[in-house]
Amino acid sequence: MSTKTGSYKTYQSHARHTGSNPAAHIPDPRLLLLPQEILKDARVLDIGCNNGAVSGHLLLRHAVKSVVGVDVDEKLISKSRSHVNFMLSRVRPSDPSGRGEWYPVSSVRKYGSRIPPAEVCERGRFWCGDYVTAIDPAAPSAGGGCAGYDVVFALSVVKWVHLAHGDSGLRSFFEKVAVDVKPRGYFVLEPQGWESYARAVGKNPELRGVFEGIRVRPGEGMEGLVAACGFRLVRRWGVGASEGGWD
Ligand SMILES: C[S@@+](CC[C@H](N)C(=O)[O-])C[C@H]1O[C@@H](n2cnc3c(N)ncnc32)[C@H](O)[C@@H]1O
C-alpha cells in the first residue's frame, strides 16, 4: 500500500465491500447511481483504476463498449488486466432460461478464463502512469488516434493528484480530462473531502508541504476550477455522509 498515491492493494474490500478481494460479485454502488444510458456502448476512461474492479464492473454489468484504465502503480495495472480477464470470463445467461451460457465464478476458477486475450485487450486496455504527466499515445491529449471518451471516471483519485501536484497540477488534470472527453461527453468526478486530505497527511507527513500550499479545496473552489476547465455541472449524486465514503 502506498500512503503517497492511495495505491491500496486491497482497495475494494478496504472500502467496505465484503467477500474476497477484489469483490467481483458485488456491484459497485457508485455505478448504480448513474443514469445507465450514459454508459451503454460508451468508450470509457477510468483514471486511478486501481485493481480494475470499476473497469470490470463497467464491462460486465454496465454494457460499456470498452474501457481504458490508467493507474500510477504498475502492480495494480497488472492486477487490472487479470481482473478484467476474470470478469469478462463470467458471462450471464442472455435470457433467464439460457442456463447453458452461464459461466460462473467456480468455472473460471476451475477451468480458467473463457475469453481469448485478444478480446480482452480490445475491450479493456490498461496503462501505467501518472495521468497528469504521463502520455498515453492513443489519447486525444497526446494527439493520438482515439476520438475521445464518452465518459471519463475519476473516482477517489483527485485527492492523490492534488497532494502530489498541488493546485496547478489539479488544473492540468482537469484540463487534460477536458481534452480526452468527447464534446458532450461526461466526466464523473468523485472528489474526496478536505478532512480526508488531512488524514492522508497524518499518515504520510511528506505530503504536508504541498497540502499547506493548497488553496483550491473540495467544496471551496474546486467546482469553480472544474467549470473554468470547460465543464458544466449536469447532476450531483451522493451517498449520505453517515454512509461514509471512499478515501
Ligand atoms: C483510492 S484509489 C481509488 C480506486 C478507484 N478509482 C475506486 O474509486 O474504486 C486511488 C487510485 O488512484 C491511483 N492514483 C493516484 N494518483 C494517480 C495519478 N496521478 N495518476 C493515475 N493514478 C493515480 C492510485 O494508485 C490508486 O489506485
Average pLDDT of every residue of the chain: 85
**Tens digits of residue pLDDT in 145-182:** 778 999 999 999 999 999 999 999 999 999 999 999 99
pLDDT tier at 18 (50, 70, 90 boundaries)? very low
- Domain of 132, CATH number, reads 3.40.50.150
Phi–psi pair at 179, nearest 5 degrees: -80, -35
Residue 126 domain-assigned (yes or no): yes
Residue 119's CB is within 10 A of a number of other CB atoms, namely 12
Residue 6 domain-assigned (yes or no): no
The whole-number pLDDT of residue 52 equals 94
Ligand 1 pocket test target in 10, 51, 71 with most atoms within 8 Å of CB: 71
Residue 141 domain-assigned (yes or no): yes
The whole-number pLDDT of residue 15 equals 39
Structurally, how many domains does the chain consist of? 1
pLDDT tier at 204 (50, 70, 90 boundaries)? very high
Residue 215 domain-assigned (yes or no): yes
Ligand 1 pocket test target in 21, 32, 33, 50 with most atoms within 8 Å of CB: 50
Q: Rounded distance, CA 30 to CA 155, Å?
A: 9
Residue 4 domain-assigned (yes or no): no
Distance between start and end Cα atoms, the chain? 13
| Least reliable range by pLDDT among 34-48, 78-92, 198-212 | 78-92
Q: Distances from the Cα of 12 to the Cαs of 29, 38, 148, 216, in angstroms? A: 12, 24, 28, 28
* pLDDT mean over 39-45: 97
Residue 11 domain-assigned (yes or no): no
Q: Sign of the CA dihedral 196, 186, 170, 130?
A: positive
The residue range of the domain holding 205 is 27-237
Ligand 1 centroid – CA 146 distance (Å): 23
pLDDT tier at 129 (50, 70, 90 boundaries)? very high
The whole-number pLDDT of residue 209 equals 97
Q: Whose CA is nearest to atom 7 of ligand 1?
A: 155
Q: Got the DSSP string for the chain?
A: --TTTT--TTHHHHTT--SSSS-TTSPPHHHHTS-GGGTTT-EEEEET-TTSHHHHHHHHHS--SEEEEEES-HHHHHHHHHHHHHHHT----SSTT-GGG---HHHHHHH---S-HHHHHHHEEEEES-TTT---TTSGGGT-S---EEEEEEES-HHHHHHHHHHHHHHHHHHHHHHHEEEEEEEEEEPPPHHHHHHHHHH-GGGHHHHHH---BTTBBHHHHHHHTT----------GGG----
Residue 144 domain-assigned (yes or no): yes
Ligand 1 pocket test target in 72, 78, 126, 141 with most atoms within 8 Å of CB: 72
Residue 247 domain-assigned (yes or no): no
pLDDT tier at 108 (50, 70, 90 boundaries)? confident
What nine digits make up the cell of 232? 458544466
pLDDT at position 59 over 80: yes
